[in-house]
């Protein structure tokens, strides 16, 4: 079999994600195997202004950016439709604040497993984020 190495390299370069976005400490909370939802955390930074509008993963039916907030003394979660990540405003996802909600898990996640979540900006550019499943944040 003969490969066309030039076009193969070209294809690899084209499919390379932009490295403008970085997720540090990407973590998914390990839940009991019966649980159909869990949450992901980490600090997402970007060197260029990037407006994130959606998230997805092979392991869940839906992934949404949520924010915990206190309303009338009650903790509530709301779906954040878009988040503009800039050099000055990272997306800080931690317990009690922003988080990635994995809804409708297709299978139980394993301790130590690495999960890829695709973030997508408003121009359709996708950024793969790697998060590790674990017990504690």
Please give the C-alpha separations between residue 48 and each of 13, 96, 115, in angstroms, as whole numbers. 20, 27, 25
Task: Single out the residue of 99, 106, 122 nearest to residue 29, CA to CA.
Answer: 99
Residue nearest to Cu ion (CB): 66
Work out which of 9, 77, 84, 116 binds Cu ion, going by CB under 5 A. Answer: 77
Task: Single out the residue of 95, 135, 131, 97 nearest to residue 23, CA to CA.
Answer: 131
Q: Give the binding range for Cu ion (CB under 5 A) out of 27-35, 84-92, 100-108, 115-123.
A: 100-108
In the complex with Cu ion, which residue's Cβ is closer, 125 or 134?
134
- Give yes or no for residue 95 binding Cu ion (CB under 5 A): no
- Give yes or no for residue 66 binding Cu ion (CB under 5 A): yes
Task: Single out the residue of 113, 90, 98, 107 nearest to residue 28, CA to CA.
Answer: 113
Cα 70 to chain center, whole Å? 24
Work out which of 20, 80, 101, 103 binds Cu ion, going by CB under 5 A. Answer: 101
Instruction: Enter the DSSP assignment of 20.
Output: T
Instruction: Enter the DSSP assignment of 110.
Output: P
Smallest separation, CB 99 to Cu ion (Å): 6
- Give yes or no for residue 29 binding Cu ion (CB under 5 A): no
- Give yes or no for residue 103 binding Cu ion (CB under 5 A): no
Question: Residues interacting with Cu ion, by CB under 5 A?
Answer: 66, 77, 101
């Amino acid at each position: 079999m003969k490969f066309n190495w030039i076009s193969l390299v070209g294809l690899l370069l084209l499919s390379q994600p932009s490295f403008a976005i970085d997720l540090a400490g990407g973590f998914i909370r390990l839940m009991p195997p019966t649980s159909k939802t869990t949450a992901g955390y980490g600090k997402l930074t970007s060197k260029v202004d990037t407006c994130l509008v959606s998230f997805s993963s092979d392991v869940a039916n839906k992934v949404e950016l949520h924010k915990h907030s206190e309303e009338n003394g009650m903790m509530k979660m709301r779906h954040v439709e878009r988040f503009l990540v800039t050099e000055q405003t990272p997306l800080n996802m931690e317990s009690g604040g922003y988080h990635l909600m994995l809804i409708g898990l297709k299978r139980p996640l394993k301790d130590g497993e690495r999960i890829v979540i695709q973030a997508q900006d408003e121009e359709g550019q996708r950024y793969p984020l790697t998060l590790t499943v674990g017990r504690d944040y």
